[in-house]
A = this chain, B = another copy of it.
Amino acid sequence: MMVRVALDAMGGDRGPDELVSGAVQAVNEMDIEVILLGDEGLLWKALEKQTRATDRIEVVHAPEVITMDESPVEGVRRKKNSSIVQAFHLHKTGRVGAVVSAGNSGATMTAAIKFLGRLKNISRPGIASVFPTLKGPVVMMDVGANVDCRPQHLFQFGIMAAAFSQVLFGTEKPRIGLLSIGEEGGKGNVVVRKTHEYLQKSSLNFIGNVEGRDTFQGHVDVIVCDGFVGNVCLKLSEGLAEAVVAMLQEEIKKSVMAMTGYLLAKGAFDVLKKRIDYAESGGAPLLGLNGTAIVCHGMSNARAIKNAIRVAAELIKNDVNGHILALLRESNYFEVAGQQNNAVTAGSGS
């Protein structure tokens, strides 16, 4: 059966033209179909501007928009005819196998959980993000969906991220690291220390704690953390990469020789930029759903959208959810953490 992906064509900061262009690139490069959701007048106009084949693209009218600053829960409840809500509606009824959105990410998560529900035995869906490293990609999870977590949630993030790494990168036994502030198992906060115990007892390929500086070394395939820490890491990395480039440009402007050098070395800078460019990684999947959803950066350009659609298609074709359920069984999760759901509390975790 042909893989079909719904794209929220109203979300994001760059407008429908950019999103539609990403969808067109996707159908031209892959054997898939895309359904665009949004104001059909706008979307047809955007499609007409395209010079390439668009015969595997369909438009579904869903003119309402949940804006970036709107309350996710409110927006999803009130705007039944919004592109986000209608996209998940199509997913629920089986017309598509995945939803991709660069719109209000809170609303995307809310609608995803509301319409698709959680995967069996998963307590909390979370967001996985791919980081570039010196050796290859590493998957960090959670990067923002769950701010107050318990050890069993972190354990599950490890399982889901490992399944994602298997499916997307073909990693056979993903090496899992637990983000902490020292290598020994006794280091870290209460929740992290308990998580270390769990992962140690599991049959996952757990290699122990990793520190912030290990993130970009490529020693592990998966880094486990709560959504607060993960989100701070994600944004800190973006900010630091930008700051390093800005500082370098500032210094270079001060000298003609350095400027000449910069122009000669520009090719290397461009490759580097591509390597650390988050648009390349193709959005961040919300894992742990009865279905597939990809959350994209609001600033996503056509290439980022195309890559997100590609990731969505891979997740469907290679059955990431089947992998998650299998790993959940094989990891000894239930024996290790299944009976201890109330053992450690931190904050308002439910």
Contacts and interface: CB of A to CB of B under 8 A. Distances in A.
Interface of A: 133-134, 144, 147-148, 179-181, 188-192, 211-217, 225-229, 231-244, 246-248, 251-252, 254-255, 257-269, 271-272, 275-276, 346-348
Contact of A213 (B191, B238, B251, B252): B238
A188 B323 CA distance: 31
Contacts of A233: 212, 232-233, 236
What's the dominant secondary structure at chain A's contact region?
helix
Contact of A181 (B232, B254, B263): B232
A267 to B, nearest CB: 6
Contacts of A215: 236, 239-240
A121 B55 CA distance: 71
Given A188-B147, A228-B189, A255-B267, A240 B243 contact: no
A191 to B, nearest CB: 7
Given A212-B239, A240-B215, A247-B275, A347 B268 contact: no
6 contacts: A144-B181, A148-B189, A212-B237, A247-B276, A248-B268, A251-B267
Contacts of A275: 247
Given A244-B272, A267-B255, A192 B261 contact: no
A268 B239 contact: no
Contacts of A189: 147-148, 226, 228, 347
Contacts of A265: 252, 257-262, 265
B252 A261 contact: no
A150 to B, nearest CB: 11
A227 to B, nearest CB: 8
How many copies are assembled? 2
Contacts of A144: 181
Nearest to A231: B181
Contact of A257 (B235, B238, B257, B267): B267
Contact of A243 (B190, B216, B271): B216
Given A236-B236, A261-B263, 12 more contacts: A189-B228, A189-B347, A216-B243, A232-B232, A248-B268, A251-B271, A252-B265, A257-B264, A257-B267, A258-B265, A260-B265, A346-B347
List 8 tightest A-B contacts by C-beta distance, closest first.
A261-B264, A261-B265, A212-B235, A213-B239, A212-B236, A190-B347, A216-B243, A251-B268
- Report which residue of A179, A191, A268 has the largest number of chain B beta carbons within 10 angstroms of its beta carbon: A268
Contact of A133 (B190, B243, B261): B243
A16 B260 CA distance: 43
Contacts of A269: 248, 251
Given A244-B276, A265-B252, A346-B347, A232 B258 contact: no
